[in-house]
């Protein structure tokens, strides 16, 4: 018994001594904490402080998504909320609200204060965990603790990680990719059971944080399976890590409601957010030393993977070392199975990152074949540029390891702090901007929707219907309305989701207004003005929009929309023209040219359609719906019959003299027998000279 107790004490003592000897971890954590606080400040870490989140676009989306999930009833699957796409439940995964934290926090909602956020602490935790796994990887190859500490700072505070923190909060979890790389390099020292369990746990974590991290870690796992096969020359139980990872991730997504539907893959954006082949060297305006390099489209910011000046110098020196150092090449040959697996990882990642058009700078080199079925599958990960993170971090890890073995301990230790300094000076613009954004600016002040809105909410409606798409509204109004509703547990019919909604769940704008319900408020905006006159609702003006209700709201006086609310105007510039061109808000039709659009959503009723421009007498007009398959009778009316009203001209604001009428106008009266989402006006120039369209506008017939 005494021997057993003595052995236990000895073991505990040795562990404590081991932790004490591994001073690189606490030192790294303290350095990361100091840098974090100098950039972001300490107030963000207060979970009761939420004002800093509002007015931040994506971050606000994440917080409001959590708020809706917290205040909705429980569903099965557990991740569903019925407060953002009423009456359809959707998963909190699609608001990027970090389900890994959202679900346990909802379990504790009974004891949490009303204002509560976990995003500030999450950002710090991501930096600390990244530092932990970066050290674990480096220490496998490098004996110097000091060198590893310096290098870990470069890995943790990459421009990519700094860019994502508190913008795409879930994607700030770079540590998950580091954890996958750590498992890759630790495979020879793990038992089959340990490997399967750890990869399965990683699958759960990735699925509960963000699907792109799930994909990236899955690619690293496939490379690990190849490495084990090459090293052991046969399939082993360790290869069950792959089905374990996929199975645990799929189970997690199911529990979180990710398979519950309601969203489209979003394949239309495939290739827009791709990785440019110059991305590792392209600072995109963040470098103090290097100029920005051209890209093929603004969407390639998703592939932002700049190495930094320190990282580029490390990479160049390591390539020189591989070329001239025989001992370094010999060490690499002894790890040929590991190198083969990493080459496989890069080979799989590259086409996914650049697809389908491979670009270098502002030139598209070639386009990879992408059948429609594959495009639909890849559409789930349309922001393929993010997969370029694998190239970024493997390049940094490889450079750091090769540099140590090439230069030797003394030279490497001298160079390490200089590289950190060079890196910091080069990318200082990013942390300085972050510092100004979070430290130097006051909390965002959302525009108040007004007293009428407050009074309407006191009626405790079941839901609030936005009759225009959420993403098309003024952000201040959209966020203010969302915040007040979600705090009170009132459902919304639309939100800013990570994916476009399917037609079944997305068609709630017009259908909800066509059959108004008691206990529901309807918000009408200038973007969808004609609907404000439908359905005999009680209307109340509220700071730029109208509130509609089937029953009078106590304490409020009804209001009549002014003339500006009777018109929906279609400006030009979307390219829906054949045999013509667009310039300065004008659409010029050559003889025989054809103008399409607008494809507008209108409820049933009688409308006036007014076209303004020049040389319109020689043009023919037609009105259709259902993709042009159904034409509507459009009767032209004369100037004497023109009921547009009180000399009001929709285009007057664009003229040099607002009081002057348009040069030429043609007005048609049309009946829309049923609500349609794609009412189209087509104009064909049948004259011998160019015709000009400056505006097409709808107005409900008085």
Report pLDDT digits (tens) over 282-315: 999 999 999 999 998 778 888 899 999 999 999 9
Residue 470's pLDDT is: 79
Q: Which two tokens stand for residue 15?
A: 């562990």
Distance of CA 379 to the CA centre of its chain: 14
Spatial CA neighbour of 95 closest among 691, 495, 668: 495
Is the pLDDT at 96 greater than 50, yes or no? yes
Residue 601's pLDDT is: 67
Is the pLDDT at 137 greater than 80, yes or no? yes
pLDDT per residue as tens digits for the range 538-564: 888 887 788 888 888 887 887 776 655
Residue 14's pLDDT is: 53
Residue % of the chain over a pLDDT of 70: 82
| Arithmetic mean of pLDDT, 449-456 | 80
Q: Which contacts of 502-507 are long-range, i.e. CB under 8 A and separated by 24 or more positions?
A: 502/261, 502/262, 502/263, 502/264, 504/88, 504/262, 505/85, 505/88, 505/90, 505/261, 505/262, 505/263, 507/677
Is the pLDDT at 145 greater than 50, yes or no? yes
What is the rounded CA–CA span in Å between residue 442 and residue 478?
A: 20
Q: Which two tokens stand for residue 303?
A: 């592939």
Residue 34's pLDDT is: 94
Check residues 508 and 86 and name the one with the higher pLDDT.
86
| 698: β partners | 568, 609
* Other C-beta atoms lying within 10 Å of the C-beta of residue 137: 24
Check residues 18 and 498 and name the one with the higher pLDDT.
498
Check residues 15 and 24 and name the one with the higher pLDDT.
24
Residue 654's pLDDT is: 43
Is the pLDDT at 328 greater than 70, yes or no? yes
685: burial class by Cβ within 10 Å (0-12, 13-18, 19+)?
buried
What is the rounded CA–CA span in Å between residue 498 and residue 471?
A: 11
Element (H, E) at 315: helix 308-324
Find the angle CA(105)-CA(108)-CA(112) to the nearest 5 degrees.
90
What is the rounded CA–CA span in Å between residue 203 and residue 221?
A: 10
Residue 505's pLDDT is: 59
Q: Are 533 and 700 in contact, with CB atoms under 8 Å apart?
A: yes
pLDDT per residue as tens digits for the range 650-679: 444 444 444 444 568 888 888 877 766 678
Tokens 């236990």 — which residue? Answer: 8
Which residues does 13 contact at the CB level (< 8 Å), separation at least 6? none
Q: Are 348 and 224 in contact, with CB atoms under 8 Å apart?
A: no
What is the rounded CA–CA span in Å between residue 428 and residue 444?
A: 25
Spatial CA neighbour of 86 closest among 539, 541, 489, 538: 489
Find the angle CA(539)-CA(543)-CA(545) to the nearest 5 degrees.
50
What is the rounded CA–CA span in Å between residue 222 and residue 233?
A: 16
Sign of the Cα torsion 490, 494, 496, 502 reads: positive
What is the rounded CA–CA span in Å between residue 409 and residue 615?
A: 81
For the chain, what is the mean pLDDT? 83
Residue 221's pLDDT is: 96
Q: Which two tokens stand for residue 483?
A: 């915040």
Q: For the chain, what is the radius of gyration of the CA atoms? A: 30
Among 150-154, 179-183, 292-296, name the one with the lowest average pLDDT: 292-296
Is the pLDDT at 382 greater than 90, yes or no? no
Among 112-126, 283-297, 362-376, 602-616, name the one with the lowest average pLDDT: 362-376
Q: Are 584 and 516 in contact, with CB atoms under 8 Å apart?
A: no
Is the pLDDT at 584 greater than 60, yes or no? yes
What is the rounded CA–CA span in Å between residue 650 and residue 612?
A: 9
Residue % of the chain over a pLDDT of 90: 37
Is the pLDDT at 534 greater than 90, yes or no? no
Which residues does 375 contact at the CB level (< 8 Å), separation at least 6? 267, 270, 356
516 pLDDT band (50/70/90 cuts)? confident
Is the pLDDT at 346 greater than 90, yes or no? yes
Residue 513's pLDDT is: 62
What is the rounded CA–CA span in Å between residue 368 and residue 553?
A: 59
Spatial CA neighbour of 532 closest among 540, 524, 542, 541: 524
Residue 605's pLDDT is: 74
**482, 487, 491, 495: CA torsion to nearest 10:** 30
What is the rounded CA–CA span in Å between residue 245 and residue 227?
A: 17
Is the pLDDT at 22 greater than 90, yes or no? no
Helix, strand, coil percent content, the chain, rounded in steps of 5:
50, 15, 35
Among 193-197, 330-334, 470-474, 523-527, name the one with the lowest average pLDDT: 523-527
Is the pLDDT at 596 greater than 80, yes or no? yes
Is the pLDDT at 648 greater than 50, yes or no? no
Residue 427's pLDDT is: 95
Pairing relationship of beta strands 463-466 and 491-492 according to DSSP bridges = parallel
State the helix-helix crossing angle for 145-156 and 24-40, rounded to 10 degrees: 30
Residue 659's pLDDT is: 41
Is the pLDDT at 11 greater than 60, yes or no? no
* Other C-beta atoms lying within 10 Å of the C-beta of residue 46: 12
Is the pLDDT at 506 greater than 70, yes or no? no
Give whole-number Cα distances, 229 to 187, 188, 239, 333, 337, in Å: 12, 12, 8, 17, 9
Q: Which two tokens stand for residue 571?
A: 């400006």
Give whichever of 12-26, 97-111, 292-306, 644-658 has the largest mean pLDDT. 97-111
Q: Are 236 and 226 in contact, with CB atoms under 8 Å apart?
A: no
- As separate numbers, helices (DSSP H) first and strands (DSSP E) second, the chain gives 22, 20
């Amino acid at each position: 018994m005494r021997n057993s107790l003595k052995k236990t004490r000895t073991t505990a003592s040795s562990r404590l001594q081991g932790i004490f000897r591994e001073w690189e971890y606490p030192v790294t954590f303290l350095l990361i904490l100091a840098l974090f606080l100098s950039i972001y400040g300490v107030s963000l870490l207060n979970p009761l402080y939420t004002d800093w989140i509002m007015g931040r676009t994506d971050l606000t989306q994440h917080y409001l998504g959590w708020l809706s999930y917290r205040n909705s009833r429980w569903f099965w699957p557990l991740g569903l909320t019925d407060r953002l796409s009423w009456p359809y439940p959707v998963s909190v995964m699609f608001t990027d609200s970090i389900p890994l934290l959202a679900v346990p926090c909802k379990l504790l909602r009974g004891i949490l204060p009303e204002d509560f956020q976990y995003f500030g602490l999450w950002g710090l935790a991501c930096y600390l965990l990244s530092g932990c796994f970066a050290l674990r990887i480096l220490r496998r190859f490098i004996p110097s603790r000091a060198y590893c500490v310096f290098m870990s700072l470069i890995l943790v505070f990459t421009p990519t990680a700094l860019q994502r923190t508190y913008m795409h909060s879930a994607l700030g979890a770079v540590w998950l990719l580091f954890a996958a790389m750590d498992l890759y390099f630790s495979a020879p020292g793990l038992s089959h059971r340990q490997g399967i369990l750890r990869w399965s746990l990683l699958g759960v974590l990735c699925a509960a944080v963000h699907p792109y991290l799930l994909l990236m870690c899955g690619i690293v796992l496939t490379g690990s399976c190849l490495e084990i096969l090459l090293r052991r020359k046969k399939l082993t139980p360790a290869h069950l890590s792959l089905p374990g990872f996929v199975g645990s991730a799929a189970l997690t997504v199911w529990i979180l409601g990710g398979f519950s539907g309601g969203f489209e893959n979003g394949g239309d954006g495939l290739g827009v957010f791709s990785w440019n082949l110059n991305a590792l060297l392209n600072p995109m305006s963040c470098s103090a030393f290097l100029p920005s390099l051209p890209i093929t489209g603004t969407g390639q910011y998703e592939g932002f993977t700049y190495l930094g000046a320190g990282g580029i110098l490390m990479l160049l020196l390591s390539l020189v070392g591989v070329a001239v150092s025989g001992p370094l090449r010999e060490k690499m040959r002894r790890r040929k199975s590991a190198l083969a697996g990493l080459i496989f990882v890069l080979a799989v990642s590259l086409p996914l990152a650049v697809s389908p058009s491979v670009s270098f700078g502002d030139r598209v080199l070639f386009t990879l074949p992408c059948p429609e079925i594959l495009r639909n599958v890849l559409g789930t990960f349309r922001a393929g540029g993010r997969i370029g993170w694998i190239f970024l971090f493997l390049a940094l890890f490889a450079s750091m390891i090769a540099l140590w073995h090439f230069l030797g301990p003394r030279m490497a230790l001298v160079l390490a702090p200089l590289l950190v300094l060079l890196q910091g000076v080069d990318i200082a613009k990013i942390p300085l901007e972050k510092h100004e954004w979070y430290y130097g600016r006051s909390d965002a002040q959302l525009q108040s929707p007004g007293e009428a809105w407050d009074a309407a909410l006191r009626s405790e409606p079941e839901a609030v219907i936005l009759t225009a798409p959420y993403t098309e509204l003024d952000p201040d109004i959209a966020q203010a309305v969302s915040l007040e509703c979600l705090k009170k547990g009132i459902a919304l019919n639309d939100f800013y989701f990570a994916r476009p909604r399917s037609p079944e769940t997305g068609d709630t704008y017009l259908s909800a207004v066509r059959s108004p319900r008691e206990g529901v408020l309807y918000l009408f905006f200038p973007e969808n003005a004609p609907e404000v006159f439908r359905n005999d609702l009680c209307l109340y003006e509220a700071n730029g929009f109208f509130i509609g209700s089937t029953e009078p709201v106590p304490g409020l006086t009804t209001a009549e929309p002014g003339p500006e609310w009777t018109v929906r105007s279609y400006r030009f510039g979307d390219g829906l023209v054949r045999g013509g061109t667009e310039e300065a808000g004008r659409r010029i039709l050559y003889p025989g040219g054809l103008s399409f659009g607008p494809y507008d959503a209108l409820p049933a009723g009688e409308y006036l359609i007014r076209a303004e421009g020049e040389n319109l007498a020689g043009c023919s007009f037609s009105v259709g719906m259902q993709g042009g398959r159904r034409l509507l009778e459009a009767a032209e009316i004369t100037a004497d019959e023109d009921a547009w009203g009180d000399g009001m001209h929709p285009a007057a604001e664009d003229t040099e003299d607002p009081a002057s009428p348009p040069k030429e106008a043609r007005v048609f009266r049309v009946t829309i027998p049923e609500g349609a989402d794609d009412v189209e006006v087509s104009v064909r120039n049948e004259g011998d000279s160019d015709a000009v369209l400056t505006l097409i506008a709808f107005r409900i017939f008085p």
